[in-house]
Amino acid sequence: MSRDSAVLLVLVIVLLSIGLVMLFSATAVACEKSPRIQDAGHFLKRQLVWTLLGLGAMALAARVRPDAWARWRIPILGATVVLLALVFVPGVGATLNAARRWIRVGGFFFQPSEFAKIGIAVFVAGFAAAHPDRLKRFFAGLLPAVASVAAVCGLILVEPDVGTSLFIAMVMGLTLMVAGVRWTHVLPLLVGAGGLAGYFALAKTAHVSTRIEAFLHPERDPLGSGHQIIQSLLALGAGGWTGEGLGRGTAKLYFLPESHSDFILPVIGEELGFAGTGAILVLYFALGLVGYRIMRRAPDRFGFLLSFAVTTYIILQAAVNVAVVTASMPTKGIPLPFISAGGSSVVLTLVGVGMLIGVSNAAERGPCQEGVSGSSLPGAAPGAMSFRGSPSPGTP
């Protein structure tokens, strides 16, 4: 295992450990008093199972050479579309909170949109690596990649899940721009897609306008739509610098909805204070540095782009979660990576970490035999990064 892989693994294990401890703190009392559960460790046990499954999936993903992911990009895209479509099949898809975002597997729920984050990243990185020169042309290069992203995001949008759809579109747009597409080509497409998604959200999904109103004026409905964000801010403020102490927070006691999931950071802030939340932000910052370091040392173009996409997913998702719980943007169901409760999220995020480890290990071994090589990415500073191996035909 390379040194970057080892550092990345340590950071992930620390974040997972914090998540398990804080999940137990956020759910133990509620579970004990629940007439259905009456087991203080119910959520902890479920999350521990998913975490162990995720670590196993990460280990498997780390053993796959990056060029193999590139070869499998089309079947992976197909599997992504099929899984997203299955949520609309009666008896297969499950409806929770007026949204069809899950597939029921026994007593567990699987969220295909989490798989879609990785699936579309593999396809876009593979497509861009295989056709670096075609990306400069709109119809022959950019349009097929954008159409694939649009198909995936469209299926997520109609679940409805506007936030995740826009999130994936943003990361994939950034990935294509890093790959060398003309910003004059991709920017109008992103603006147009964002406009269509915004129109759909406001015209077809009433809860989006409610969330925007709650974001702008939470005090107008403190017991309704503004309740969650007000309680989040109260919890963060109550923690002060050092917090009330582990397990001593009160926001989780039926005051703060989703305190074990998307809003677990306020529980951490109340119990561990600014010191605890600040330490978690430092861990994410360090993870981002390691991820982008792996990206710069990637042995080929595909590994570079895949590492960029996966690292950006994790860091941007953490940033969005922090922005939501601090009332810096409207509420959206984006979990805090490795810490929030959620089986699909932790498993697929760990698969992404496994891919990063695989890229890092491949860089230690040498260039992938079938990877697409290039002298540098378009727009990169001279000497900033170069791929090992011979340049591909047509590459300057």
| Tokens (6 digits) for 315 | 């860091």
Say which range, 69-78, 161-170, 196-205, has the weakest mean pLDDT. 196-205
The rounded distance, in Å, linking the Cα atoms of 84 and 80 is 6
What pLDDT is stored for residue 123 in this prediction? Answer: 96
Assess if residue 383 is contained within a domain. Answer: no
Mean pLDDT of the chain: 83
If pLDDT is split at 50, 70 and 90, which confidence band does 332 have?
confident
Assess if residue 32 is contained within a domain. Answer: yes
| Tokens (6 digits) for 155 | 């299926």
In terms of pLDDT, which residue wins out, 121 or 383? 121
In terms of pLDDT, which residue wins out, 312 or 29? 312
Assess if residue 381 is contained within a domain. Answer: no
The rounded distance, in Å, linking the Cα atoms of 179 and 330 is 31
**Domain around 226:** 3-365
pLDDT in tens, 25-57: 888 877 666 657 666 777 888 899 999 999 999
The amino acid present at 38, given as its one-letter code, is: Q
pLDDT in tens, 190-231: 677 667 766 665 665 566 667 777 777 677 777 777 888 899
Q: List, as one string, the DSSP characters of 202-226.
A: HHH-HHHHHHHHHHH-GGGSTTTTT
> What's the length of the chain?
396
149 near 124, Cβ under 8 Å?
yes
| Tokens (6 digits) for 86 | 């299955």
Residue keyed to tokens 């199972």 = 49
pLDDT in tens, 256-295: 888 888 889 999 999 999 999 999 999 999 999 999 999 9
The rounded distance, in Å, linking the Cα atoms of 374 and 122 is 18
Q: For residue 93, which phi and psi values (nearest 5 degrees)? A: -75, 150
| Tokens (6 digits) for 188 | 């109008």
Number of domains, the chain: 1
Task: Inform me whether the pLDDT recorded for 384 exceeds 90.
Answer: no
Chain centroid to CA 196: 22
Task: Inform me whether the pLDDT recorded for 373 exceeds 70.
Answer: no
Helix/strand/coil for 333: coil
| Tokens (6 digits) for 306 | 């895949």
Task: Inform me whether the pLDDT recorded for 380 exceeds 50.
Answer: no
pTM for the model: 0.86
- What percent of the chain shows pLDDT beyond 70? 83
What pLDDT is stored for residue 298 in this prediction? Answer: 94
Assess if residue 387 is contained within a domain. Answer: no
Closest CA to 302 of 218, 365, 358: 358
Residue 125 to residues 245, 305, 387, Cα–Cα distance (Å): 44, 5, 15
| Residues β-bridged to residue 109 | 104
Assess if residue 65 is contained within a domain. Answer: yes
Residue keyed to tokens 């401890």 = 21
Assess if residue 391 is contained within a domain. Answer: no
Task: Inform me whether the pLDDT recorded for 366 exceeds 70.
Answer: no
Residue 156 to residues 31, 111, 210, 262, Cα–Cα distance (Å): 32, 11, 20, 19
The rounded distance, in Å, linking the Cα atoms of 71 and 213 is 46
Assess if residue 330 is contained within a domain. Answer: yes
Chain centroid to CA 203: 26
Assess if residue 370 is contained within a domain. Answer: no
